[in-house]
A and B are shown apart, each in its own frame.
Chain A
Amino acid sequence: MTTRFFGAPVKRNEDRKLLTGQALFIDDVELPNMLHAAFLRSQVAHARIRRIDVSAALKRPGVVAVYTADDLGAYWQAGPLLVPPPPIPGIIFHLRTQVPLARDKIRYAGEPLAVIVAESRYIAEDALDDIVVDLETLPAVVDLEAAMAAGAAVVHDDLGSNVASHVRQAKGDYRRAAANADLVLKRRFRYEHGISSPIETRGIVAQWNARGQQMTIWDTTQAPVFVRNGLAAILGVSERQVRVIAPFIGGGFGPKIMIFYPEEVTLPWISMRLNRPVKWIEDRLEHFVATTHERGQIHDAEIAIARDGRILGVRDVFLHDNGAYNPYGLTVPINSQCTMLGPYVIPAYDSTFTSVFTTLPIVTPYRGAGRQHGVFVIERLLDLAAHELAIDPVEIRRRNLIPPDAFPFNNEIIYQDFAPLQYDSGNYEPVLDKALAAIGYEKFVHEEQPKLRAEGRCVGIAVACYVEGTGVGPYEGAKVQVQSNGRVSLVTGIGTQGQGHFTSFAQIVADQLGVDVTEVDVVTGDTDQFYWGAGTFASRGAVVAGNAISEASQVVRRKALKLAGEVFECSEDDLVIADGKVSITGIPEKFVSLSELAQRANPMRGAVKPGTEPGLESTQYFGPPSGTTANGVHAMVVEVDPETFELRILKYVVVHDCGTVINPMILAGQIHGGVAQGIGNAFYEKLAFDDQGQLLNASLADYLLPTALEIPRMELGHTATASPLNPLGIKGAGEAGAIPVGALFAQGIENALELARKGIELLEIPLSPSRLYELTRKDGT
């Protein structure tokens, strides 16, 4: 087999549609007789509902219906648990999931109370003002420590406290490690991650066909199969009666996998009830409070370390804000807990977290999904220890890297995918060396920095490492089919939100079947096209779906060769498959096209051999035994204006090992985008809540996404350690760019401003010019 496409920077199949304005996004779905919904959202964070009066809204011309929780009857039920807690002994987990419309009690500002259905969105929004709501306001629960204090208001009354979960995972004997250590260093860290804020918000269109008893739902979801199954169950119909289509989606980054959003369950019900299609598109203000966030953790962490810089142990106790409900289980805090171990040998680890209910929007994974928090803590601990022990920060990392002969490396704790956290493969030191060479570490530290400092410039350097668990199970599938016209169809169950699946998946097929990559038509995210699957999350699309696609392509290839062998009455070994045809080796004029083979594989008359399946097609599934671990190093040279604290990133390097690469161009794009989101998280973006649980900056004018002026040019490097856990050797890459950036910023800014010398430590993210001003003035200088 020739590999013309796999591994090459193939230009994307999907671009043309997107560049010409022809791609179908959710709000482009126009249906005859369609109604429009608007949701009335709570303006307070915590309250008991006394009464909701919708009578005036119903009288407004153009309003078709208004529903509150009471109208939903038996349909009103709390959402499902997406990810059950992993089997960790002694775990406490209280499940409280979100509801379609608030009944009795409101638990975050933005929670929907009622839905208005009207002939236009304009009218529906007008009618929101007609609804009268009578509430008994309760104290908001915002601060994590206050939420845990005796006498705090309780988010879920029946629990009696705000503890959502409590998990301890440990290996080795931390107490002994600390007793034997030359240095034990303890600090409190605060890390907040923000909102993913894709440029397209969420939306849903539901169309019930009463004659056909069929529900069609267009949904900006990353997990269409899961949505189909769940909605069928609560609508009381069979799964085959529900079709979920995830069209082109304008970015996801995690929150679009949450299930079910209130709007997602109410719209299909409304469509069924009114027998008309209904559309709801989230506006940007809604997005800030109605789409899930990631948010904050407070870590009390300590490191026990030997004089030579070897880590003996790490202990960490942290609080995690999971917002008002916890449908996503423990994924985010478990990722924080596991990712803290990084690429290092940490013989003793003792980590305990308490996940806390607050009266704030729900927390679910957003690109990185808690990994940022863990990486920040371990990387900062190492920086602080390096300073105390007078070891170079890079050298202390190098001394602790897991050696290449130690893989598979068992961390002896359980990961989010329920499997033991075992690093399948890796070779960490060359990644570090490559990053150091690219950033010019030695030269900068010994020559450039002293010179620049002498000129009065505040320039710093930073290097941060991470390991990312990717490509988790359970499974994905793919169906590859040669069409009668010779084009190849590939369908898979995952959704796509810009990752280039229409191209990278086509590359896998094209090589196997000897067709051009543009001759492969990829369909993702339509449950009528492919029935099974889990979804796009945890950097798993290429790993899990990619391997299913490869397997299905190989089966189709064998079928094509077998059929052609029958045509030519020759051995399959004497045939080559290329350029859309199968020919006899060395006699290119003796060929049969894939198109003809596809038609032969589906005879319209005559008899076939017993057991014959029609078509040149195959459906295959792939489920990895556990996730595969990618790793990388980011390095940065940064200049800080000591007066304004404006940053200028002078150089940014990412060296990354995500195993075998399908398309380096798409991979680079994933890294660029991840770093940009990481930079936003580290320095520009902050969800600012007041003590009443009100989000004070719910607009893109106030919540600052980085622009083209803030994001530097990045230099990328790669190493490739193939994963032994899947035939293609792929590891996930989607989240890698975003993960270590906070740690890098804290280190780089400290270094640039020589804060260690002044006894000032940066132990929190996000930073910002104003926050840096506060932190660096603490000592009165």
Chain B
Amino acid sequence: MQPEGHDIELSVNGVQYRRAVEARMLLSDFLRHELMLAGTHVGCEQGVCGACTILLDGAPVRSCLMFAVQAGGHDLFTVEGLIGASGELNPLQQAMHEHHGLQCGYCTPGILMTMTAFLKQNPDPSELELREALSGNLCRCTGYQNIVDAMLKAAEMMRAAAP
């Protein structure tokens, strides 16, 4: 059986995609199972846990709370887009590695995306500001301390590298 499709065109990590999707398909399912960009994880499908966070035109959004059709015409950015051209980790990823900011790694893509947007908006956050920004992403493994340390370090590195 063929559900009614809506043609959408969108960009993910700079690549243009054109697909026909059912109106009710969640953006998270579309990214994961249609575009096979499975790095975006799904934890609750209720917009609470933050695991599915991606950037939509630069702003962090829960991809489980959007339909794929709503993303038509927009620029999306997911965890797969973070890595450098020659395969190097970006400063956030590198800092997470250095500071043991991940254990099972399931919440990690969402955290990286939330923090990518946050550190752009606030390049020199206090620890409390950073914890507030991080509080929309649940992690059950780490107790957050190493994530906080990693992100403060990443902010510092990016400030130092900025012209």
Contacts and interface: CB of A to CB of B under 8 A. Distances in A.
Nearest to B128: A709
Contacts of B40: 21
B51 interface: yes
20 contacts: A16-B89, A18-B102, A19-B82, A20-B39, A20-B82, A21-B78, A23-B105, A61-B1, A199-B104, A200-B106, A250-B107, A251-B103, A284-B44, A668-B100, A669-B100, A673-B143, A676-B142, A700-B43, A700-B46, A707-B136
Q: Is the interface of A mostly helix, strand, loop or mixed?
A: loop
Interface in B124-146: 130-132, 134-146
B142 A673 contact: yes
Given A62-B1, A122-B22, A707-B135, A19 B102 contact: yes
Contacts of B97: 11-12, 15-16, 19
A28 interface: yes
A709 B138 contact: no
A410 interface: no
Interface stretch (A153-161, A492-500, A600-608, A762-770): A492-500
B44 A700 contact: yes
A571 interface: no
B100 A12 contact: yes
B89 A672 contact: no
A673 B140 contact: yes
B103 A498 contact: yes
Contacts of A16: 89, 97
A198 B102 contact: no
Nearest to B131: A708
Interface residues of B, number: 58
Given A250-B104, A498-B103, A499-B103, A21 B22 contact: no
A284 B52 CA distance: 13
Nearest to A707: B135
A650 B24 CA distance: 47
A498 B140 CA distance: 11
A137 interface: no
Given A27-B38, A708-B131, A714 B106 contact: no
Nearest to A18: B105
B48 to A, nearest CB: 4
A19 B144 contact: no
Interface in A606-665: 665
A705 interface: yes
B102 A25 contact: no
Contact of A249 (B98, B104, B134): B104
Interface in A124-181: none
A271 B38 CA distance: 24
A364 B66 CA distance: 36
B145 A713 contact: yes
- Can you list the 9 inter-chain pairs with the closest CB atoms, starting with the nearest? A21-B39, A250-B106, A498-B104, A18-B105, A672-B143, A676-B143, A498-B103, A21-B79, A707-B135
A23, A196, A283: which has the most chain B beta carbons within 10 Å?
A23
B60 interface: no
Interface centre among B42, B49, B134, B143 (most CB of A within 10 A): B143
Nearest to A709: B135
Contacts of A714: 143, 145
B147 interface: yes
B140 A198 contact: yes
B129 to A, nearest CB: 11
A705 B138 contact: yes
Interface stretch (B4-12, B29-37, B68-76, B155-163): B29-37
B116 interface: no
B53 interface: no
Given A11-B97, A19-B89, A21-B37, A199 B48 contact: no
Given A21-B80, A25-B41, A199-B139, A672 B104 contact: no
A22 B105 contact: no
Given A20-B80, A62-B1, A705-B138, A500 B93 contact: no
Contact of B46 (A25, A197, A284): A284
